[in-house]
Structure 1
Amino acid sequence: MRLLLKNTKLLQTKEQLQTCDVLIENNRIIAIKTDVESTTADQIIDCRGNLLVPGFIDVHVHLREPGGEHKETIETGTKAAARGGFTTICAMPNTNPVPDSIDRVENLHEKITADAKVRVLPYASITTGLQGETLSPITELAKQNVFAFTDDGVGIQTADQMLSAMRLAAKAGKAIVAHCEDNSLLHGGVVHQGLASERLNLPGISSVTEAVQIARDVLLAEAANCRYHVCHVSTKESVRVIRDAKRAGIKVTAEVTPHHLLLNEEDIKDADANFKMNPPLRSEADQEALLEGLLDGTIDMIATDHAPHATEEKALGFLKAPFGIVGLETAFPLLYTNLVKTKKVSLRQLIDWLTIKPAEAFQLPYGTMEIGKLADLTLIDLNSSEKIDKQKFYSKGKNTPFEGWKVFGIPKLTVMEGKIVYNNL
């Protein structure tokens, strides 16, 4: 089976676009030329001059299955990923049951094989049941094709436990991925401790709650010689700690979400729980530090932290609603519109943060568009615009603070291993 993508635009050096055809045979790219003869293909798609890039990679996604199917399933979450241009997503382990044993990981792989529309790389948990008490069998689980180890949603509270986990992960050649949060500093917070918490009279979460665990963990990672990745960085203090750790040669990488790049606490006008996420939207100074950290390489990549919840759950208000927002279907259009079109970053930088950078950090064979490579590709319309409409989401989750935003850069076609998984041309 040969698929020919005609009339695409490929991004060249100096941000120039060049018209090219891309020929795919089975699951790999076999030609990238100015003009490929149509007679060589079984199926031809006219890409209408839209931008073709490597399929996006998201290392932080919540698919909720098993146990939370009313929020999301592997099928609906991966359909949402395909619509957003993502061909590889990494599924967090805060499910019920938690993937903390060989049997549970095997069952999860079977479900992914049956239902996933894009590539899903599952995490396993650092501790059994995400309870922070007993380490999962990290050495054994590492042999079960898990992506990495994390207790995302909760921080590992003791240095001894984190060090032990890092030593086991390092021996197994896997990364430790951390949601950094010191529970002793939380005090029931639901929003950043600052302007919004004061104005809305809500308990706040201080910046040090996150940064203090990162500071601890980078030193532990150095001692264990472990690859360590920081989830959803949100504060200027965290950026400073990670920058210093990188300068010291510690093997640390980090991600930032679209919502922390594009919003801050001043965007919370009322107690709308669609603005409730963990970590919370921070100050404008924090927001500026996050972009600076991306631009100077302190932060390596962008990840959505796609966290779907049922509408009735989010309707409970700031104090009782669960943390999290959806992001797979809106990430690229929001970032392109608000960062690239405003000339804060280049198109090449944005694409790299969503493709080659996560692939390099986690040693994945994806994120590039070259002859002989797997055909993971995303076609994007940079010119036409639309308004974000949560009712059109493929995700079960409609919990977004970006409803009604006008965006450009709409994914139109997603190809994963040569197979069309989304088409809206």
Structure 2
Amino acid sequence: MILKNANNISELKIQDGLIADSTNDTAILDCKNYTLIPQFIDLNVFPKNKSLSRNSLISLSKKAKNGGVGIIALNSDTNPKIDNEMAIEFIKNLDNDIEILPLMASNNAQNKICDISILNSLGGVGINLDSIQCANTIDKIAKYAKMLDIPIFVNADDKLGGVINYGEISSILGLQARNPLSEIKEVAKILEVAVFYNIKVIFSAISEIRSIELINTAKRHNSNIFAEVSIHHLVLSDEACNNYNTSAKINPPLKDNKTKDLLLDSLQSGKIDLLTSLQCACYNSKKEQVFNDAEFGIDAIYYYFSLLYTYLVKTRVISLEQLINICAKNPAKILNLNCGGIDIGKEAKLMLIDLDSNYDIKDLLSPYNGKKLNGIVKEFI
């Protein structure tokens, strides 16, 4: 196939699924008025209601494709958990619109360490680890990661509770706040393990500035440590929770405006390595409850590219090229995938974007309801 007349690339040749300098394929796709970029990769995704089923994964893949995400790493904390061979094979054998890569649980239902070697050989690409696991489990999982050269995805949270950010809004609403130390001290603990074993560690959905500082300091000793932040923590603040708005109840909780601005500064200065849609949709009935009882979660992967482009690129926080590096190149490198860029020899996992189009979000259970977004994914290549 030959792609012609894209806004940013006049001609691109594809041969046998790879970007090439020549091709025998004479099919031509006119990309006039569109921008050609790599498909994005999201490393922190759940199916709806965390249900590991055929329907939930097919629905998730369709939403992800609409949002410009061609590859997802599926969090293992599903129902049932991704902790055995059957779960891995189930995910890998599904025919989806996108590529779904399973992460492996560290422990199974009997709280025993999973056979990571076997699950990895079947297609598990990384290990989910809760930072509150016992020291022996953390040590063994770190050794598995070292031996197999695979990443650990850390949920840094002491699980002491709290449904909203610690600050003024929690006081006004009278809701239990989550202490910032719940994340910060857990990040510090796992960082020492990451540095000691020199392993690849991704800190998932970080929301505290101090955590970002600690991670970037640790990179001096281990360059394979990465900070991931959700787009929502860069766009929204805990003020979205006013009037007990459960659509803005996400995990980790949204921060105050000062922290949000500092996170944006961290993104601009290159201290944030990865972004995520934090996709974790749940049934409407689980959101339409009092704030304390409502589920954490957000359904946003459907318009993920548009959120990123509207709030980060159009506002000149970062350039489109920087966005591509964070959302395609970096995650591809972490998972050792041959994609994430438009270079000869790379897999042609590309998409056409209409940067001039816009649309309104109409979803009463979304914190973005009524917002106008720019940038529409037109086609996957």
**TM class, shorter-length:** over 0.9
Structure 2: which 5+ residue stretches go unaligned? none
Deviations 1:15-56 (A, max 9, x none): xxxx51333344223358xxx9xx9633x4332321110111
Please say if 1:145 is aligned against 2:128. Answer: no
Q: What SS is found at the alignment partner of 1:181?
A: coil
The match for 2:147 among 137, 157, 171 is 171
Partner of 1:394: none
The match for 2:29 among 39, 45, 50 is 45
Please say if 1:401 is aligned against 2:367. Answer: yes
Partner of 1:353: 326
Q: How does 1:9-408 map to 2 (within 5 A)?
A: 9-10=7-8, 19-31=9-21, 41-42=26-27, 44-64=28-48, 67=51, 73-110=56-93, 112=94, 114=95, 116-129=96-109, 133-151=111-129, 154-183=130-159, 186=160, 188-249=161-222, 251-390=224-363, 399-408=365-374
Deviations 1:363-412 (A, max 9, x none): 2211011233221111111112211234xxxxxxx853112211112111
Q: What is the percent sequence identity of the aligned residues?
A: 30
Q: What SS is found at the alignment partner of 2:141?
A: helix
Q: How many Å separate the matches in 2 of 1:385 and 1:202?
A: 37
Which of structure 1's runs of 4+ aligned residues deviate more than 6 A? none
Deviations 1:165-200 (A, max 9, x none): 1112211111111111012xx2x3111111221111
Per-residue deviation at 1:66?
8.0
Q: How many Å separate the matches in 1 of 2:21 and 2:63?
A: 29
CA contact (8 A) 1:246 1:298 kept: no
Per-residue deviation at 1:338?
1.6
Partner AA of 1:118 in structure 2: I
Q: Could you tell me the TM-score, scaled by structure 1's length?
A: 0.84
Q: What SS is found at the alignment partner of 1:326?
A: coil
Deviations 1:304-359 (A, max 9, x none): 12111111111123111111102212222112112222222112111211111111
Q: How many Å separate the matches in 1 of 2:376 and 2:25?
A: 29
Q: How many Å separate the matches in 1 of 2:132 and 2:345?
A: 41
Per-residue deviation at 1:64?
4.6
Call closer, same or farther: CA 1:285–1:66 in 2, change over 3 Å.
Answer: closer
Call closer, same or farther: CA 1:208–1:312 in 2, change over 3 Å.
Answer: same
CA contact (8 A) 1:381 1:410 kept: yes
CA contact (8 A) 2:36 2:352 kept: yes
CA contact (8 A) 1:218 1:250 kept: no
Q: How many Å separate the matches in 1 of 2:220 and 2:271?
A: 9
Q: How many Å separate the matches in 2 of 1:40 and 1:161?
A: 52
Partner AA of 1:74 in structure 2: L
CA contact (8 A) 1:60 1:92 kept: yes
Q: What SS is found at the alignment partner of 2:7?
A: strand
Call closer, same or farther: CA 1:67–1:410 in 2, change over 3 Å.
Answer: closer
CA contact (8 A) 2:163 2:249 kept: yes
Deviations 1:238-296 (A, max 9, x none): 11111211123363112111101111112322211110011000122321232222233
Partner AA of 1:46 in structure 2: D
CA contact (8 A) 1:167 1:225 kept: no
Q: How many Å separate the matches in 2 of 1:46 and 1:179?
A: 44
Q: How many Å separate the matches in 2 of 1:20 and 1:359?
A: 25
Between Structure 1 and Structure 2, how many residues are aligned?
Answer: 381
Partner AA of 1:117 in structure 2: D
Q: How many Å separate the matches in 2 of 1:388 and 1:375?
A: 30
Call closer, same or farther: CA 1:67–1:215 in 2, change over 3 Å.
Answer: same
Q: What SS is found at the alignment partner of 2:5?
A: strand
Partner AA of 1:125 in structure 2: A
Q: How many Å separate the matches in 2 of 1:103 and 1:326?
A: 27
Q: What SS is found at the alignment partner of 2:376?
A: strand
Q: How many Å separate the matches in 2 of 1:224 and 1:230?
A: 16
Structure 1: which 5+ residue stretches go unaligned? 11-18, 391-397, 416-425
Q: Could you tell me the TM-score, scaled by structure 2's length?
A: 0.93
Deviates more, 1:262-271 or 1:119-128: 262-271
Q: What SS is found at the alignment partner of 1:330?
A: helix
Partner AA of 1:197 in structure 2: S
Call closer, same or farther: CA 1:68–1:251 in 2, change over 3 Å.
Answer: closer
Q: How many Å separate the matches in 2 of 1:292 and 1:363?
A: 28
Partner AA of 1:8 in structure 2: A
Deviates more, 1:202-211 or 1:285-294: 285-294
CA contact (8 A) 1:64 1:95 kept: no
Call closer, same or farther: CA 1:328–1:237 in 2, change over 3 Å.
Answer: same
